[in-house]
Amino acid sequence: MLRVLKEFQLRFFFQNPESCPLFSIDSQALYVYNTTMIPITFHPLYMERVWGGRKLEEVYHRDLPSDAPYGESWEISDREHEQSIVKQGEFAGKSLHSLWKEQRETLFGVDLPASERFPLLIKILDARSDLSVQVHPPEKAAVSLKGDPKTEMWYIADCDKGAKLYVGVKDGVTKQSFTEAIQEGTVEEVIHAIEPDAGESIFIPSGRLHAIGSGFLIYEIQENSDTTYRVFDWNRKGLDGQPRQLHVEESLACIDFSDVEPTMDMPKQQSLTLCPQFSVDHYSLQEGADYLPNNRNRFAILIVVEGELLDTEGNHYQAGDFLLLPVGASPLSVKSDCKVLESTIPA
């Protein structure tokens, strides 16, 4: 019945385009402009971390499960044991995995990866202490190490003055000298440090040595992978009182030692990151405007950085909210000046 209705609507549109606001034509494709589809939002998954804090509660007014330090909020997740569940609306109670498996073309678009699981994993990170120095395996190394490649990007939502990101190696550092630094406990002396500002971002491809220092709130967009090799953990003990496991041999097989003293990324117009796995754009929206994704033929993940948005059913979205906008979703009204991030999988 739905297919017949769509075919009738399409025929009517081509015969009477001025009378059918539900459809629009661009240079590449026909898309449906669904005036009733509101954003899909999910219950966050909170992760205790030894380096975490309470900023999720203080800044975003989140109701955290306990008094423990929480370092991560998984906002969009289709992992086997960490499933995002829809909060409200017609899909309330459904998992992201079921939406991806059962309604991929309807909600997410066509020509997407034929992956078993939704390909992106999106988090908020609250770093009150330094994270471990780590690396994610490039594709070739991942095969031999039986892990998954993982490329990601960080957007600095907020940071303390002087807070440092550790990214890449210092000039002159080799695999041999880095190995010696591990043995001598002087890894901090060979890692390149950056002091970014809020609103900046950096791309972290697989193979890039990295660590987030203390004093950051970060939005992280990444491949749906959780393979991480820790090479140094500041001689710190975990929440169980024991030293956390290190993966020195695996890390040395993955680190790109030609990645010397990288800098924070410079935006290319609206684009912060564009790679085969995902894209991230940033937009400043003025009060009174309407917002629609850049590509209405494909889903978008919208992250509200500042300001307030309103959907057609009166739901408000503020800083720290993460929205899945389906194909052809209805526009959002900008209630106060906004900064947003828009992420999707490139066509």
Determine the Cα–Cα distance for residues 205 and 207; give it in Å rounded to an integer: 6
Query: Which one of 230, 236, 244, 296 is the catalytic residue?
Result: 230
Go through the domains of the chain in sequence order and give each one's CATH number. 45-101+114-254 (2.60.120.10)
Q: What is the DSSP string of 185-215?
A: T-GGGTEEEE---TT-EEEE-TT--EEE-SS
Residues with Cβ within 8 Å of 109's Cβ and at least 6 positions away in sequence, in order, are: 297, 298, 299, 327
For residue 118 the two structure tokens come to 């939704």
For residue 303 the two structure tokens come to 């992250």
Per-residue DSSP letter, 19: G
Residues with Cβ within 8 Å of 232's Cβ and at least 6 positions away in sequence, in order, are: 132, 133, 182, 187, 246
| In the block, residue with structure tokens 């809020």 | 198
User: C-alpha distances in angstroms, 183 versus 7, 117, 176, 178, 232?
Assistant: 68, 39, 11, 9, 10
A 10 A CB-CB count for 98 gives 15
CB 126 within 8 A of CB 71: yes
208: annotated active-site residue: no
Q: What is the pLDDT of residue 237?
A: 75
- For the chain, the straight-line distance linking the first and the last C-alpha, in angstroms and rounded, comes to 30
Per-residue pLDDT of the chain (347 residues; tens, 9 = 90+): 333 333 334 333 334 434 343 434 343 444 444 456 899 999 999 999 989 999 999 999 999 999 999 999 999 999 999 999 999 999 999 999 999 999 999 999 999 999 999 999 999 999 999 999 999 999 989 999 999 999 999 999 999 999 999 999 999 999 999 999 999 989 999 999 999 999 999 999 999 999 999 999 999 999 999 899 999 998 777 778 888 889 999 999 999 999 999 999 999 999 999 999 999 999 999 999 999 988 888 999 999 999 999 999 999 999 999 999 999 899 999 999 999 999 999 98
Q: What is the pLDDT of residue 104?
A: 96
Per DSSP, the three-state class of 124 is strand
Per DSSP, the three-state class of 326 is coil
H-helix or E-strand spanning residue 2: helix 2-15
Q: What is the pLDDT of residue 22?
A: 40
Angle at 339 between CA 333 and CA 49, to 5 degrees: 115
pTM: 0.88
DSSP strand pairing (30-32 vs 42-43): unpaired
Determine the Cα–Cα distance for residues 18 and 119; give it in Å rounded to an integer: 38
Q: What is the pLDDT of residue 241?
A: 82
For residue 5 the two structure tokens come to 């209705």
For residue 230 the two structure tokens come to 């820790």
Per DSSP, the three-state class of 336 is strand
Q: What is the pLDDT of residue 36?
A: 62
| In the block, residue with structure tokens 């423990």 | 68
Determine the Cα–Cα distance for residues 91 and 99; give it in Å rounded to an integer: 8
Determine the Cα–Cα distance for residues 158 and 212; give it in Å rounded to an integer: 13
